[in-house]
Amino acid sequence: MTTLEECPHRPPCPGCPRFGDTALPPDAWQSLVDLARDANLPIPRIHQASGLGHRHRARLAVRGRARSPKIGLFQSGSHRIVDTPRCAVHHPLINEAVAEIKQAIRETGIEPYADRPHRGDLRYVQLVVERSSRRLQIVLVGRGTSPDILGDLPSVLEKRLGDRIQGLFFNAQPERTNAILGPTTQRLSGAPASVESIGGVEIFFPPAAFGQNHLPLFESAVDRIGSLVPDDARIAEYYCGVGAIGLGLLGRSAEIRFNERSPAGLEGLALGLAARPADESGRATIIRGKAGDALEGLSDMDVVIVDPPRKGLDAPLLEALATSPPRRLVYLACGLESLLEEIATLRRPGGLTLKGVEAFDFFPFTGHVETLVWLDRNGEQSGPHE
């Protein structure tokens, strides 16, 4: 069993540059401490969980030859693959699936992709563990427009993995590109989405939808966000994805407006709403499109929740939150640099006051830190669970 002192794939695997170090990255931590100190807040609370076996979701490159396939990550700055059959941070089911995929490649003779000549059939695999069933959602990314390019590989893989498969999909990526997934995904067998219980409700993840890789810690973040939202509030959630944060709040809210632009996120959100009782789903409104083009969702809202990509908030949304602030803004940030830049705008006179800073170590052993902050409108009394 791998311990924090060893990893059979380092070097050259770049996936865990700080493997074994359970502290937060020093520069990121100092930035958070400085942010809290500037607002006269206590030292930020750190939420952590074990880094070993934490990844419930992985996208892995497939390279090498049909007789000796390699599945893993690229070395930094290259397309030279690092085979990672015993990855210590992957959920054990992911490592099991990788071994079976390799054997299916050998058995069928399907050629792994080669970048320079743009040749070969299987480019990547995406593996997602559904915790309740301990089964896998598997996406095979092929260099073609239909699953025919993979020959018998899907059927052989189904036989090898059997009831360990929750859903099997083909994604078409025929272009010469570094983008992993193409725009078209086809279900070959199984369920259309993996399902997780988060915030007390079912959350549905179609294969192309964004999902956090560290589900136990993400659950903690969702619960913490829920503790910052008062009962009977009118809520707007921007960059909501499949609704993993907001769907659990429907049962005690007056209204929630969900904003999302990605088709897969909207698909998962629709499945999640359909699984809620009518009196809950009736409180939901979906506003499709870019967050910066959906500012009507802010009107008369008590609480705004945002969970943007690393680049941060759309500029029009940032300006609207600063000039016409809600009673409370709850911001889950995966881009610390963007957050630090935007905080200055949000805290300008007449805007919002920073009330809390916490850190979530969603990506153990890396330089990345997820940050939760919440801000109240100037002059408002503090909300729940400060």
Give bridge partners of residue 204 from the DSSP assignment.
Answer: 195
Cα 193 to Cα 225: distance, rounded to the nearest angstrom? 25
pLDDT of residue 383: 55
Cα angle at 138 between 135 and 144, to 5 degrees?
165
Q: What is the DSSP string of 328-365?
A: EEEEEES-HHHHHHHHHHHTSTTSEEEEEEEEE-SSTT
Please compute the mean of the pLDDT values over residues 337-348 and round it to a whole number: 96
Burial of residue 293 (CB within 10 Å: 0-12, 13-18, 19+) is middle
Closest CA to 16 of 366, 376, 374, 369: 366
Please compute the mean of the pLDDT values over residues 286-311 and round it to a whole number: 97
Q: How large a percentage of the chain has pLDDT more than 70?
A: 97
Element (H, E) at 305: strand 303-306
Assess whether pLDDT exceeds 80 at residue 384.
Answer: no
Q: pLDDT tens digits, residue range 169-205?
A: 999 999 999 999 999 999 999 999 999 999 999 999 9
Q: pLDDT tens digits, residue range 352-373?
A: 999 999 999 999 999 999 999 9
Q: How large a percentage of the chain has pLDDT more than 90?
A: 95
Cα 164 to Cα 114: distance, rounded to the nearest angstrom? 29
Please compute the mean of the pLDDT values over residues 127-152 and round it to a whole number: 98
Assess whether pLDDT exceeds 80 at residue 385.
Answer: no
pLDDT of residue 386: 57
Please compute the mean of the pLDDT values over residues 43-60 and round it to a whole number: 96
11 CB-side CA count, 13 A: 3
34 against 1, higher pLDDT = 34
Please compute the mean of the pLDDT values over residues 324-349 and round it to a whole number: 96
Q: pLDDT tens digits, residue range 219-235?
A: 999 999 999 999 999 99
Cβ atoms within 10 Å of 317's Cβ, excluding its own: 24
Sequence-separated (6 or more) residues with CB below 8 Å from residue 216: 49, 54
Sheet of strand 81-83: strand arrangement:
81-83, 68-74, 57-65, 122-130, 135-142, 165-172, 184-190
Average pLDDT of the chain, as a whole number: 96
pLDDT of residue 378: 85
Residue owning tokens 């007789």? 67
* Token code pair at residue 226: 């829920």
Assess whether pLDDT exceeds 70 at residue 95.
Answer: yes
pLDDT of residue 1: 43
Cβ atoms within 10 Å of 74's Cβ, excluding its own: 19
Please compute the mean of the pLDDT values over residues 87-97 and round it to a whole number: 97
pLDDT of residue 211: 97
DSSP letter, residue 43: P
Is it true that the peptide bond before 207 is cis, omega within 30 degrees of 0?
no
Please compute the mean of the pLDDT values over residues 17-46 and round it to a whole number: 96
Please compute the mean of the pLDDT values over residues 338-345 and round it to a whole number: 97
Report the predicted TM-score, pTM, of the whole model to 2 decimal places. 0.95
pLDDT of residue 382: 52
Assess whether pLDDT exceeds 50 at residue 302.
Answer: yes
DSSP letter, residue 260: E
Assess whether pLDDT exceeds 60 at residue 381.
Answer: no
Residue count of the chain: 386
